[in-house]
Amino acid sequence: MAEQEGSGLQVLLRKLQNSSDRASILAILQVLADLLSVGTDRRIRYMISKGGSEALLQTLVDTARTASPDYDILLPLFRLLTKVGLRDKKFGQKALELEALDVTLILARKNLSHSQNLLHCLWALRVFASSVTTGAMLGINGAMELLFKVIPPYTRKHTRMIRAATEVLAALLKSKSNSRRAVNRGYVTSLLRLHQDWHGHDTANACVLIRRALLLCLKHIAALRSGREAFLAAQGMEILFSTTQNALDDRSLEPVMSVALQVLRQCYPKSPLPLVAASSAYTFPACGNIPSEPPRVPAEEDFEDEGDEEEDKDSDSEDTKEEDDDLETDVNKLSAKPGLDRPEEELAQYEAMCLELFCSFEELEAKPTDAMNSEEVEHATHHHIPAAASLKQQQLNKDQSSWGQEREDTFQTPLLGTAKRGRSTGQPVSKKRPGMNLYQNAQCNGLGVDSSRNEILDILAFLREEAWDVHMTSCPRMMDSFSNSTGSRDTVEVIDRLLQTHPQHVPFHDPHIYLAKARGTRSVTDFQTMAFPDLWGHCPSSSPEPMLERKRGIQRIKIFEDIRRFIQPSDVINKVVFSLDEPWQNTATSCLQFSSKFESGNLRKAIQVREFEYDLLVNTDVNSTQYQQWFNFKISGMRAAVPYRFNIINCEKPNSQFNYGMQPTMYSVKEALLGRPTWKRTGYEICYYKNHYRESTAVTGGASRKCYYTLTFAVTFPHNEDVCYLAYHYPYTYTALMTHLDILGKSINPTKVYFRQEVLCQTLGGNPCPLVTITAMPESASTDHLEQFRQRPYHVLTARVHPGESNASWVMKGTLEFLVSSDPVARLLRENFIFKIIPMLNPDGVINGNHRCSLRGEDLNRQWLTPRPQLQPTIYHAKGLLYYLRSIGHSPVVFCDFHGHSQKKNVFVYGCSIKETLWQAEPAVGTSAVLEDVSYRTLPKILDKVAPAFTMSSCSFLVEKSRASTARVVVWREMGVPRSYTMESSYCGCNQGPYQGLQFGTCNLEEMGAMFCLGLLILELKSVSCSHQLLTRAATLLSAEDEALDHHLQRRSSSSLASDLDDEPPCLEEIDYCPDSHSDPEGSCSELDQQIQEWASHQDEGEEDEEGPGQGRRAAL
C-alpha cells in the first residue's frame, strides 16, 4: 500500500513539473494542499523525500518565467512552498540551484503595489532566508533594500504584509555579511526610527509582532562589534531604554520587552571588573608548580563572541546526533584496576591510624580520648547527644564524670520513628512571599525589644564598653605568648560576662573551647579576629523556611537598573568603602561598614552605588583566578527597617538556585544576644543574571573573554546599629569542627563507645586534618570478643573537599552526632562496623574562604589519581589509608564523599556503573559480556525510602572522563569498592517529599547525615551476608520499632518509584542568561503556518486587498 501511495505521489509530482495545462496544474496543487492540510508533518517529510521540494520550486520558476505569470497558480504554489520549505533543511540550497531566489525577488519587486501577491512572495523569501548561506545570497542580490521599501512608518494598512517583511529582514540579518552590510549602509539608524515610530503610535498594541521583528533586526546586527558600536553611536541605548520604561508591567508587550532587553544587554559596553588584579587578594607560597588555570572547563555560554569576521555558516544542514563525549566508553578504563601509586612499604605508616585492630583495650580504656588543656576544661560545658532528627535540640547539665551510665534519655525520638514512609501526601508548604521579614519576633525599632526594654538598653550599653567590641571579638591568638597574655585573659573575661548576662544554649558548642581551638588555626593572612557567629554558636531555626516566591519581572527590573547607571551616571555614587587590595579605602563612616578578614570570610571589595545599594566582589580562591561563588562577610552601621540592596557582580556559574527560591543566610549579633543565635535565610527580590562585566584582556591575552553574573538581593535588617553576617550558605568553619569534635569526644561513654580523634596529616597551611574512628567497644578483652571486634567491616566517609560546600559539613555533623548517640540504630552500627571519618579534607580552603580549591589553586577532588604528599597531603594520606585497609582485607563496604550542589534540589548520590555508562553512551562494544555487581543501587534506593530529603530520580551512576580523578571513581576503580559514592546536598532545598517547597536548614542537613547511617544499617540487614546474630540483635534492640523496620526492609514496589522530577520549577518569566537566547521562536513552522491560515480566513474581509479582487494577478515579468 505504501508503495502505491509513493508511486501515486511521484506521478503527481512528475505531472506537476511537466504539465503546461493550467487546469491540471491547479488541480494537482489543490490535491497536494488537501493532502498536506491534515495529519502530521510526517506527510510533508515524506513528500520531501520523494522530490516534492524540487517539483514545487521548478514549477515556480517555470510559471514565473512565462510571458504573463499566472498568479492563480503562483499564490497557492507559494503557500505550498512555504509549508514544505519550513520542514526541508536543504530547501535554501535547492532554491539556489534552481534559481528560485532570483525569480522570487523579481516577482516581489514587480508587486510592490499589490499587497497580496507581495505577501506570498515574502513568505517564500522568509523560508529561503532560514538558511544563513541562502540569506547571504539574497542580501547580495538586494533583498534588504527591497524590504526597506516595503516597511513604512506606522500605518494601519497592510499590516500583515509589513509583518512578513520585517520578519524576512530579521531572518536575513542572521547572516553576518548582511549585518555588516546593514551597518555600512546606515540601516541601524533607520531601524531605530522605525522602532520609535511604531512604538509611539501603536497605542492599542495591535502591531506587537511588527515591533518585535524590528527589534529582532537590531538584535542580530548587535551580534557584531561594529553593529553594537553603530547602535551606541545612534543613541540606541537611550532610545530603547526610554521607549520601554512605560511598558515594563504590560504583559501584552512581553514579546517586545523580551527582545528589547536582549538588545540592551548585548549593546551595554563590556568592561573589566573593578579590581586591581584578576588573581586572588591572598597568595600562598606553595611548593611545586602552581597550575596557571584551575582545571575548570567553562561552558560555551561563559564566553561571548566579540568579533565580526566569522563567515556565515549553516548549522542545520545535516541532522546530527549529539553524543555525550564525556562518558567513558573504554571498558578497560571502566574495569577495576587494583594497584598502588606508591611503594608498598609506605602503607605501614597507616597502621597507627588503625590502632583499634592491634592495641590492647586495657590500655585504650585507661587513656583519655583527647585531653584538653586546663583552660579548656575550666570553661567547658559538655552536652548530651540530641535526637538527630528532632527539631528541638536539648542541653542537659549532667555531671560529665558519670561515664559509666549509658545515656538512654538522649534520643527522645528514635531515628526509625522519623524516617519517611513514602512520599508526602500533605499540601506543599506555601512559598515565602517577597519581602517577608525573617525575624518575625523582632521589632524593627533599632532596639530589638524582646520582653524588657531595659534589658535591651543594657545590652547596647554593654556592647559599647571597651572590653567588648560589637563589631568583632578581638582574637590575638597568633601571638606566641597568647596563653599568658593580658589580651587572652580579657577576652575570656568578656566571654564570661556575656555568658552570665546572656546564657547561650548551643548543643556541642562552647565559646571558651572555640577560643582555645582558634589559637591553633593558621590562615594565609594571619586573621586576628573571629566572627561572632563562630564564637557564639548557631541553633537551628525553630520553624521551616519556605522557598522564596520569585517576584515576576524582577530580573528585568534589575537589568534595567543596570542600564540606567550607564545612561544616567550622575546618579551613581561609585565610592569604594571596603577593599582587601586597598585597605586605606576602608575608612568611610557615612555608609555600611564591611569586613571579611576572619575564618571562612570572603568579600574582596564593596562599592557604594547609591545610599542603600552596594556592588560587592568576592575573592577568587587563593592562587587562582576563578571560583567566585562563596561569600561570607560582616556588615555594621545599618538602619532598621530600611531595604538595602547588595549586588555580587563577579559570580561565575551561568545558573543558580537563587533563581528558584533559594536565599542567602544571615546572622544577627543582637538577635543572638537576645537568645536567638541562628543563621536564617534572608533576602527578597532575588535574581541571578549575566551582567556586562568580562574577564580582562590582560588575563586572556586577547582571546574570548569569560562572562560574569550578578546575584542581587535586598535585605531589611531587624535592628539599628547591629552587626550582621551574610553568607552564601550556613557557614561551618574548621575551628567549629575542631571544637565540635573535642566536645563530642567528651560527651560519650568511653566504656561503650570507641571514639578516637587523631591527625591524618598536616595541610600545606600547617593545620592538622582530623581523622575520627567510631565503633563500639568490645564486650570484654576476651579472645572471642576481640576477634569479633577486629573482624568488623569498615565504612569510610569524607566531606568538605570543596570549601564552599558547607552543607556537606552539616550533613557530616549529623552523621557524627548520630553515630555516638544512644539510638538503637547507632548502637547496632557501632557493634557491627568501624567508621573511619575524615570530616574536612580541605581545612586550608575552608579557613581562607575558598570556594573550591586548596592553597595551590587546585581542585583537590581532581587529584585522587596521582596525589603527592608535598602538594596534596590530605588526598595522598586519605588514599593511603584506603590502600592500607584494602591490603589488610578491610576494604570499606561503603565509601561516601559528602558534597554540596548549587544547580539541583534535594539530596542524591552519584555512583559508578560500567553497564549504565556504556548503555548511555551506546558504544560499539556491547555490554552483554560485562559482569557487574548491581548492589551499587541498593543504598540509594534505601535512602529514597527512608530519608525525607533524598530522591532517587536525581541519582546518576555514569562514569565521565572528566571525573576520572575524583574520589568516587578512583575508590571504585582502584580500591574495587562497588558502593563508592558522592552524596550531593542542595544549597537550596526540596521539590519533592515531605520537605517539598522548603529550603534546607541545618537541622534538615544533620537529619540527612543520621538517615544516611540508617541506610547503612538497612543495607547490611538486606544483604545475603548479614549474620543471624545481627538480625537477632536488630530484632531485640528494635522491637519497639519492628513495624518501622519491617517497612524499611520491604522490597520497593513499582508504585512507590518516584517519577522524574523537573530540576527547576518554571518561573513566572523566562530567565534569559545570554543575549543569544533561544527564547524567540523566529521562523517556527507553526508561526508561519498560522500566518497562512489567518490570511486564508481573512481573505474575503478586504483588509489588505485594497486593489480589489483580481487586480494585479497578471503583472508582466
Q: What are the residue numbers of the active site? A: 984
Instruction: Confirm if 750 and 598 have CB atoms less than 8 A apart.
Output: no
Residues 6+ apart with CB under 8 A from 654: 299, 301, 302, 690, 707, 709, 1073, 1074
3-state secondary structure of 945: helix
3-state secondary structure of 689: strand
Report in angstroms the alpha-carbon separations of 163 from 123, 547, 730. 10, 42, 53
Distance CA 586, CA 577 (A): 5
Q: What is the DSSP string of 105-152?
A: HHHHHHTTT-HHHHHHHHHHHHHHTTSHHHHHHHHHTTHHHHHHHH--
Strand ranges (DSSP E) for 137-290? 271-272
Q: How many CB atoms are closer than 10 A to CB 492? A: 17
Instruction: Confirm if 628 and 620 have CB atoms less than 8 A apart.
Output: yes
Instruction: Confirm if 197 and 245 have CB atoms less than 8 A apart.
Output: no
Grid cell at residue 197: 515610530
Distance CA 552, CA 517 (A): 47
Q: How many residues does the chain have?
A: 1117
Grid cell at residue 247: 511598558
| DSSP code at position 218 | H
Grid cell at residue 259: 527582545
Per-residue three-class SS string for 476-517? CCCCCCHHHCHHHHHHHHHHHHHHHHCCCCCCCCCHHHHHHH
Distance CA 108, CA 110 (A): 5
Distance CA 999, CA 625 (A): 31
3-state secondary structure of 618: coil
**Maximum separation of any 2 CA atoms in the chain, in Å:** 113
Grid cell at residue 434: 517577597
Grid cell at residue 312: 556565515
Q: What are phi and psi of 369, to 5 degrees?
A: -65, -50
CA 641 to chain CA centroid, Å, is: 31
Number of H helices, E strands in the chain: 41, 23
Grid cell at residue 1105: 486587498
Q: How many CB atoms are closer than 10 A to CB 312? A: 18
| DSSP code at position 276 | S
Distance CA 1030, CA 824 (A): 13
| DSSP code at position 726 | E
**Sheet of 680-681, strands arranged across:** 593-595, 632-636, 723-727, 665-668, 680-681
Distance CA 176, CA 183 (A): 10
Report in angstroms the alpha-carbon separations of 949 from 285, 680, 917, 1104. 42, 19, 26, 61
Instruction: Confirm if 747 and 395 have CB atoms less than 8 A apart.
Output: no
| DSSP code at position 98 | T
340-347 long-range contacts, CB within 8 A, separation 24+: 340/883, 341/865, 341/866, 341/867, 341/879, 341/974, 342/880, 342/883, 344/887, 346/880, 347/880, 347/883, 347/884, 347/887
Please, what's the b/e burial string for 285-304 (b: 16 or more CB within 10 A of its CB; e: otherwise)? Answer: ebeeebeeebeeeeeeebbb
Q: How far apart are the first and last CA of the chain?
A: 43
